[in-house]
Chain A
Amino acid sequence: MSQLALVIDLNTCVGCHACATNCKAWNTQGDYGPLPDTDPYGKNPHGVWFNRVQTYEVGKFPQTETMYLPKSCMHCKDAPCVEVCPTSASYKRVEDGIVLVNYDDCIGCKYCSWACPYGCREYDELEGVMKKCTLCVDRIYNDHLPEAERLPACVLACPSRARIFGDIDDPNSEASKRIREGMGYKLLSEMGTDPSNHYLPKRKVNIDIDEDDLRAKKHFKVELESKILSYKEQAAEDIAAP
């Protein structure tokens, strides 16, 4: 029994919104119909898409950092939205753990969006149903796409490779490995929803160099300097005579 989910590396995310744009593009032109986009150039634009990126400033100056949070449906293992849906339109797939909405059954009562603590569900006025991140279920099982592109649109779009897609119940998958090694955590874990999407925290990479190491490796430093000099000479030759 697998649980497909996203692992988002906040250390690498630069808040470019490529994932949000790509998500909207794929879901507007994909299998499940257009998403509303009312008055896009006017005074009151309103639209629906599934992956929203918020920007936060953490800390007080000068110890501040900017944090970008791309947030979409967490595909919770104990999803409160599935529990409260009256028509069984909101369901969690058994084979891969993706939480989906059946647009033929949904009556648009908005109860599931009230039950979601992350604010990941939105109401589509045009169709009168609730919509949310589908984990690109129409991409990952799509035989018409080449093997390497059978990934969610946001994962393919991210220029800094901050989004990883995989099975978090399989300890050997890339996603599980990144969670284990990158100290992956869940949002609002105390709320009891057990989300599947994990976030890798921001971390500063420090290399501690000991003085004893430097003393011992002095000859190494000299060797390295001579190598750098030879590389520079080589490069100058290449530029002079391409």
Chain B
Amino acid sequence: MHPEMSLVFLTLFAGVGQGIFIALVILTGIYSGSLDEKTVYISLIVSIIFQYIGSVASLFHLGNPQRMWKAVRMWRQSWLSREALALGGFTGLIHLYLGLYYLGQRGDLLFYTGILAVIFSLGFFLSSSMLYAKIRFIREWHNPFTTVNFTLSGLFGGSAFIYAILLFTNGLPQGIDIVQNTVIALGVVAFILKLLTFRFNSKVYVSVDLKHALGKNDPSIRLMDMGTSYGHYNTKEYYYPQTARQLTIQKLAVIVLAFLIPLSIFFVTAEFSEIAFLKLPLSLGAVASLVIGYLIERRLFFIQGNHIQNLYYGNFKRNITPNPILSQARKGTPVP
């Protein structure tokens, strides 16, 4: 599928922002009262800014964004409606949380508002991933990895941000080690699952072939003419071939930027207390690397989706990465 950068920004920034809030609520629950105000304000502001970035980005992929409010109508059957509701509900509730905190509330009311917002956030992780996973015609999306990766990216990214914020404000001296260990654990789990996803995508087998698509029981069918001399929506939206080299570079970038660099920085700063003064700049670097790596990861998620309708235009086998014909063209070999 053609990668929609506005959707990449929406799912990633909204997810990471919500992960920050979930980590904040959990820390408030465990260390009730010990969390200082600076930490809470910075976390809330960063999370809210990320929600705004995500929401504004999502308007760019719509043809008629002024009708965006209508998107919540079909919440009974469409995951996209549920995603819109979850995102809107969470954004409203996090503003409420900020308002209550500003007005001095520190007790049960604030906490239960936070819990409600966390429920909306989990609903957002579920619905934003299920709307991709529901499409049974894209095998690379229609599997449990989609939901798991979306959730883990939000939780890992969010907890990494909270860790960096805590280092900046020194807001929780007694709990910083637990946060560190949680970030590393989440990162390792997210890394393993992402590697498994890459493996699944490279081995994915779609049993539908052109003979099923046309109803012609013959092993050798080829497209001679697609009906137009030039490309159109059906050949542009669903088709984004990559060479083997492009694919490898992107996968390596994801592995290194989103997982290896942040995890090794967190691990090293945990183990070696001599460089404690470097913890903050290193953590900020780790977080920046994580965001860039995850942007590439989300874009790659879109690229790796191969839609069955490509069969009709002879693009299905070419869209499976890597595309051998493109690879040959790059090397200079004449393309058949």
Contact = CB atoms under 8 A, between A and B. Distances in A.
Contact of B313 (A20, A80, A89, A119): A119
Interface in A85-100: 85-89
22 contacts: A17-B227, A52-B234, A53-B227, A58-B214, A59-B218, A67-B216, A84-B77, A84-B79, A84-B135, A86-B70, A86-B78, A109-B62, A110-B237, A111-B131, A114-B138, A115-B137, A123-B63, A123-B237, A128-B62, A188-B212, A191-B137, A201-B215
A91 to B, nearest CB: 10
Given A52-B226, A188-B308, 12 more contacts: A56-B222, A58-B220, A58-B221, A67-B214, A84-B77, A84-B131, A86-B74, A87-B71, A108-B63, A114-B307, A119-B234, A188-B208
A2 interface: no
Given A52-B228, A84-B78, A108-B63, A57 B222 contact: yes
Given A67-B214, A117-B309, A87 B70 contact: yes
B63 A118 contact: no
B330 interface: no
A168 B238 CA distance: 32
Contacts of B261: none
Closest 7 CB pairs of A and B: A108-B63, A128-B63, A119-B309, A55-B225, A86-B80, A87-B70, A86-B81
A106 B227 contact: no
A47 interface: yes
A105 interface: yes
Given A127-B63, A191-B137, A56 B234 contact: no
A44 interface: yes
B63 A54 contact: no
Nearest to A87: B70
Interface in A172-218: 185-188, 190-192, 199, 201
Contacts of A201: 215-216
A108 B210 CA distance: 29
A53 B77 CA distance: 33
Given A86-B80, A117-B309, A187 B72 contact: no
Contact of A56 (B70, B79, B134, B223): B223
Interface string A99-139: 00000011111110111111100111101111000000000
Interface string B291-326: 000000000000000011110110000000000000
Contacts of B72: 86
B99 interface: no
Q: How large is the interface on B (under 10, 10 to 19, 20 to 34, 35 or more residues)?
A: 35 or more
B234 A191 contact: no
Given A55-B225, A115-B137, A117-B308, A199 B215 contact: yes
A187 B215 contact: yes
B74 A87 contact: yes
A54 B64 contact: no
A79 to B, nearest CB: 12
A157 interface: no
A83 interface: yes
Q: How large is the interface on A (under 10, 10 to 19, 20 to 34, 35 or more residues)?
A: 35 or more
A185 B215 contact: yes
B232 interface: yes
Contacts of A115: 134-135, 137
Contacts of B281: none
B211 to A, nearest CB: 9
A144 interface: no
Contacts of B210: 56
A45 interface: yes
Contacts of B286: none
B74 A88 contact: yes
Interface of A: 17, 20, 44-48, 52-60, 66-67, 69, 71, 80, 83-89, 105-111, 113-119, 122-125, 127-130, 185-188, 190-192, 199, 201
Contacts of A69: 214, 312
B62 A107 contact: yes
B33 interface: no
Given A17-B227, A58-B216, A108-B64, A85 B221 contact: no
B224 A56 contact: yes
B160 interface: no
Contacts of B106: none
Given A69-B214, A109-B61, A85 B78 contact: yes
B306 to A, nearest CB: 12
B233 A54 contact: no
B136 interface: yes
A125 B238 contact: no
Given A57-B222, A83-B78, A119-B309, A107 B73 contact: no
Interface in B46-81: 61-65, 67-68, 70-74, 77-81
Most buried by B among A56, A59, A130: A56
A106 B79 CA distance: 16
B183 interface: no
Nearest to A71: B312
A88 B230 CA distance: 32
B218 A88 contact: no
B107 interface: no
B109 interface: no
B336 interface: no
